[in-house]
């Protein structure tokens, strides 16, 4: 016999006849049965003796995995790989990770239910199934019900099975032959190759990521991570003196740091006060004086500062005759270079502040040694 039979179909007009026929055909042929229906028929799985669908368990496991993957990924990225403090929350603030954990759970579970059912359990897409070429197929997807006695490798007794199906109430019979074996480039083969390529791309990408992360030897794109430069305090052959560090050009003066080379207070070269005795200058001088000078020289500059009693120090009375006779340059020199027990205040006061203090000291001197003429005429009595 040249042709091999795949299955023998009996077509039924309504669902009740199909259900009644199943136990009869099952008992009389003992062969493997399958039914093809236009819509799900309840109870047919029990009648055919099908195993319980494992979809529920698959979905449960994958959903659980999804939850773990979601929350694990969030904890790893925001707590371990790149610890990120947002809104003052601790790095492992899991409460904020619940929404995405839920979404990933649903995503894993639904794709397991949907694609797992279609691809794994039902083995679709599958276009070469002999049933798809059957003349009864358009009737089955419309409104007819088919009971198929299928060959599980062995030969089927064609005439006997047709008789059983007819007796069980089948309206018509169709014999479906085993198709010829597929060629090497069948659509199923090509689809498997495509899926394999896609999976290998994913795996390769993942491995590349970890390889780059763990062994950063040959990073393909470094952007601006690696820049040739001269580091200070290191030897470098770029310059003739083989130092990575450069000295400023000779004679360079930093802004606001004019060198002050005078040693003696009575040196005629001491500069004159460059600032005018204006109100802002006096205010500036008063501020600096009260911060730096008044602790020793007193708030009025009379030598009665708050430290005098505590330490027995004798700071100068700035309103004394001797100091009133100082030039501006000589007072300025005392600020810059210090005098007797007084240290230098050059580091505390800028050049302008020093000269402002000099103006303010002059104002204090005049105030403490005021004459009648200093009082304005209008208020004099």
Partner 1 sequence: MKTGTVALPEFLKLPPVIEGKLTPGSLDDQVLSHLDRRPPPAWFVAFAFSSSLMVIGLMLIGYTIATGIGVWGNNIPVAWAFDIINFVFWVGIGHAGTLISAILLLFRARWRNAISRFSEAMTIFAVICAGIFPAIHVGRPWLAFWLMPYPNQRGIWPNFRSPLIWDVFAVSTYFSVSLLFWYLGLVPDLASLRDRAPGKFRKAVYSMLSVGWRGSSSHWQHFEKAYLILAGLATGLVLSVHSVVSFDFATSLVPGWHMTIFPPYFVAGAIFAGFAMVVIVLVVVRSTMRLENLITMYHLDVMNKVILTCSCLMGYAYVMEAFTAWYSMNGSIHHTFKQYIFGTYWWAGWTTISCNVLIPQLLWSRRFRRSYPVMIFVALAVTVGMWFERFVIIVSSLHQDYLPSSWHIYRPTLVDYGILAGSFGMFFTLVLLFARVLPVIATTEMKVVLPGSQPRHAGGLHE
Question: Which residues, 14 to 73, sit near partner 1 by CB under 8 A?
Answer: 14-16, 19, 34-45, 48, 50, 53, 55-56, 59, 73
- Out of 61, 64, 92, 124, point to the residue binding partner 1 (CB under 8 A): 124
Distance between alpha carbon 228 and the CA centroid of its chain, in Å?
28
Residue 71 has which token pair?
A: 């929350």
Buried-exposed string 225-241: b where 16+ CB fall within 10 A, e elsewhere: eeeeeeeeeeeeeeeee
Closest CA to 149 of 174, 124, 122: 174
C-beta of 123 vs 246, nearer to partner 1: 123
Residue 188 CB, nearest approach to partner 1 (Å): 10
C-beta of 9 vs 288, nearer to partner 1: 9
C-beta of 205 vs 268, nearer to partner 1: 205
# residues near partner 1 by CB under 8 A? 71
Number of H helices, E strands in the chain: 13, 4
Beta-carbon count within 10 A of 146 CB: 24
Site for partner 1 in 132-191 (CB under 8 A): 132, 137-138, 140-143
115 in contact with partner 1 (CB under 8 A): yes
Whole-angstrom distance, CA of residue 64 vs CA of residue 58: 10
Site for partner 1 in 327-356 (CB under 8 A): none
Residue 23 CB, nearest approach to partner 1 (Å): 12
Residue 108 CB, nearest approach to partner 1 (Å): 10
Whole-angstrom distance, CA of residue 220 vs CA of residue 208: 11
- Out of 24, 65, 106, 175, point to the residue binding partner 1 (CB under 8 A): 106
Q: Which stretch binds partner 1 (CB under 8 A): 78-86, 153-161, 235-243, 353-361?
A: 78-86
Distance between alpha carbon 164 and the CA centroid of its chain, in Å?
69
Q: Are the C-beta atoms of 338 and 331 separated by less than 8 Å?
A: no
Q: Are the C-beta atoms of 174 and 134 separated by less than 8 Å?
A: yes
125 in contact with partner 1 (CB under 8 A): yes
C-beta of 224 vs 249, nearer to partner 1: 224
Residue 26 has which token pair?
A: 């099952």
C-beta of 93 vs 151, nearer to partner 1: 93
Site for partner 1 in 279-318 (CB under 8 A): none
Taking residues 79 to 98 in sequence order and writing x for each that binds partner 1 by CB under 8 A, - otherwise, the string is --xx-x-xx-x---x--xx-
Residue 132 DSSP class: G
Closest CA to 327 of 268, 287, 379, 372: 268
Helices (H), 225-376: 279-288, 294-297, 306-311, 321-324, 328-337, 351-368
Q: Which stretch binds partner 1 (CB under 8 A): 1-9, 112-120, 157-165, 194-202?
A: 112-120
Residue 149: φ, ψ to 5°: -95, 115
C-beta of 138 vs 251, nearer to partner 1: 138
Whole-angstrom distance, CA of residue 109 vs CA of residue 67: 10
214 in contact with partner 1 (CB under 8 A): no
C-beta of 147 vs 164, nearer to partner 1: 147
Whole-angstrom distance, CA of residue 294 vs CA of residue 318: 11
- Out of 77, 200, 234, 278, point to the residue binding partner 1 (CB under 8 A): 77
C-beta of 160 vs 194, nearer to partner 1: 194
């Amino acid at each position: 016999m040249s042709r091999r039979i795949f299955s023998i179909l009996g077509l039924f007009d309504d669902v009740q006849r199909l259900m009644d026929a199943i136990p009869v055909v099952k008992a009389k042929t003992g062969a493997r049965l399958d039914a093809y229906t236009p819509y799900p028929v309840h109870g047919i799985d029990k009648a055919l003796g099908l195993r319980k669908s494992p979809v529920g368990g698959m979905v449960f496991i994958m959903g659980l995995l999804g939850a773990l993957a979601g929350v694990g990924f969030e904890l790893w990225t925001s707590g371990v790989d790149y610890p990120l403090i947002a809104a003052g929350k601790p790095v492992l603030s899991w409460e904020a990770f619940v929404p995405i954990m839920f979404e990933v759970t649903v995503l894993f579970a639904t794709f397991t239910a949907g694609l797992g059912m279609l691809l794994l359990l039902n083995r679709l897409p599958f276009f070469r199934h002999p049933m798809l070429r059957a003349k009864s197929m358009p009737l089955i997807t419309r409104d007819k019900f088919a009971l198929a006695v299928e060959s599980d490798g062995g030969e089927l007794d064609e005439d006997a099975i047709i008789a059983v199906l007819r007796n069980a109430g089948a309206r018509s019979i169709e014999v479906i032959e085993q198709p010829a074996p597929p060629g090497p480039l069948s659509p199923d083969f090509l689809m498997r190759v495509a899926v394999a390529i896609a999976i290998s791309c994913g795996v390769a990408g993942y491995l590349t990521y970890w390889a780059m992360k763990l062994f950063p030897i040959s990073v393909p794109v470094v952007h601006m991570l690696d820049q040739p430069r001269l580091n200070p305090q290191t030897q470098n052959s770029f310059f003739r003196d083989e130092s990575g560090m450069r000295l400023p050009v000779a004679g360079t003066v930093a802004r606001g740091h004019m060198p002050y080379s005078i040693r003696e207070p009575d040196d005629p070269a001491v500069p004159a006060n460059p600032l005018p005795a204006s109100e802002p200058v006096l205010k500036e001088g008063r501020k600096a004086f009260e911060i730096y000078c008044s602790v020793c020289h007193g708030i009025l500059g009379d030598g009665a500062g708050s430290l005098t009693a505590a330490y027995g120090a004798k700071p100068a009375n700035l309103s004394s005759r001797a100091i009133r006779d100082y030039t501006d340059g000589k007072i300025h020199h005392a600020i810059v270079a210090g005098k007797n027990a007084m240290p230098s205040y050059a580091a505390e006061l800028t050049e302008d502040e020093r000269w402002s203090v000099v103006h303010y000291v002059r104002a204090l001197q005049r105030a403490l040694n005021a004459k009648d003429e200093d009082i304005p005429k209008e208020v004099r009595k």
